[in-house]
Amino acid sequence: MAQISLDSVSKSFGSVNVINDISLTVNSGEFVVFLGPSGSGKSTLLRMIAGLETIDTGGLTIGEVRSERLAPGQRNVAMVFQNYALYPHMTVKENMAFGLRNIGMSAADVDQRVKEAARMLEMEELLDRRPAQLSGGQRQRVAIGRAIVKEPKAFLFDEPLSNLDAALRVRTRVELAELHNRMKSTMIYVTHDQTEAMTLADRIVVLNNCRIEQIGTPMDVYLKPASRFVAGFVGSPG
């Protein structure tokens, strides 16, 4: 079942075209990676799905509803940013609870969801700390936890591992794959890193110059690249 579809979506900032006629469908439960070099439009595309950027032309549908009829808060998606975007004055627990309190969930329900997510991410001992008292990796877990408690229909990740050191990047990547297996939720994941794309994706959307170069499974993209650009970018053999 289609969870999110884009139909000929385009966008310009001023006179600069940054998204050019993009159509794609993300199915329910699918892990889709937007892979492309810096400036290829990955973040803009993700932000459009989240409702943080407007669309100039074309259509976006989320769970069968046209995006014009859905405010960002009604989209049932949770975004995890590269820089974590935690509230510095709040504890971990408060950071995770904030979005739920805002939609009027009872304190007991909020508490239960926060505890459950903290257990899942093995960070129960961090709940009373503030972001300044956490390592980069721990901050990223909090950002992921804050998305999990919303029980969203889809997770949107924007280069979530790029500020972590190499060892932690691998560990967190494996954990994200496990999280996806366990929650069976739809995930859209933006990266410029071929290894992340190859290891995480059910399907990869290769972006370049504001356009889609190819959509396919990791094996398709690697073994049957649709263009020289794709072959070079993913390091295809031959």
Least distance in Å: CB of 14 to ligand ADP? 7
Q: Phi and psi (nearest 5°) for 122?
A: 50, 55
Query: Cα separation of 203 and 201, whole Å?
Result: 5
Segment interacting with Mg ion (CB under 5 A) among 10-18, 42-50, 146-154, 193-201:
42-50
Minimum distance from CB of 44 to ligand ADP (Å)?
Answer: 3
Token pair for 6: 């884009």
Which among Mg ion, ligand ADP, none contacts residue 13 (Cβ within 5 to 8 A by kind)? ligand ADP
- Diameter over CA atoms, the chain: 58
Cα-based torsion angle of the residue sequence 216, 220, 222, 225 in order, rounded to the nearest 10 degrees = -80
Q: Does 191 bind ligand ADP (CB under 6 A)?
A: no
Residue whose CB is less far from ligand ADP, 44 or 140:
44
Q: Which residues contact 235 (CB under 8 A, 6 or more apart)?
A: 194, 222
User: Which is closer to Mg ion, CB of 81 or CB of 98?
Assistant: 81
Residue with Cβ nearer ligand ADP (81 or 98): 81
Residue 3 or 43: the one with the smaller Cβ distance to Mg ion is 43
Considering only residues 105 to 144 of the shown chain, the ones binding ligand ADP according to CB under 6 A are none
Binders of ligand ADP among residues 16 to 75 (CB under 6 A) are: 18, 36, 38-44
**Site size toward ligand ADP, by CB under 6 A:** 10
Q: What is the DSSP letter of 24?
A: E
Number of residues lying near Mg ion (CB under 5 A)? 1
Q: By C-beta, is 116 or 193 nearer to ligand ADP?
A: 193
What is the nearest approach in angstroms of Mg ion to the Cβ of residue 88? 23
Nearer to ligand ADP, 15 or 102 (CB): 15
36 binds, among ligand ADP, Mg ion, none (CB under 5 to 8 A by kind): ligand ADP
Among 43, 67, 138, 140, binds Mg ion (CB under 5 A): 43
In a 13 Å sphere around the CA of 20, the CA atoms on its Cβ side amount to: 12
Residue 140, SS3 per DSSP = helix
SS3 content of the chain, % helix, strand, coil (to 5): 40, 25, 30
- Number of Cβ within a 10 Å radius of residue 59: 14
Cα dist from 97 to 35, 121, 124, whole Å: 31, 15, 14
Name the site residues for ligand ADP (rule: CB under 6 A): 13, 18, 36, 38-44
Residues at the site binding Mg ion, with contacts judged by CB under 5 A: 43
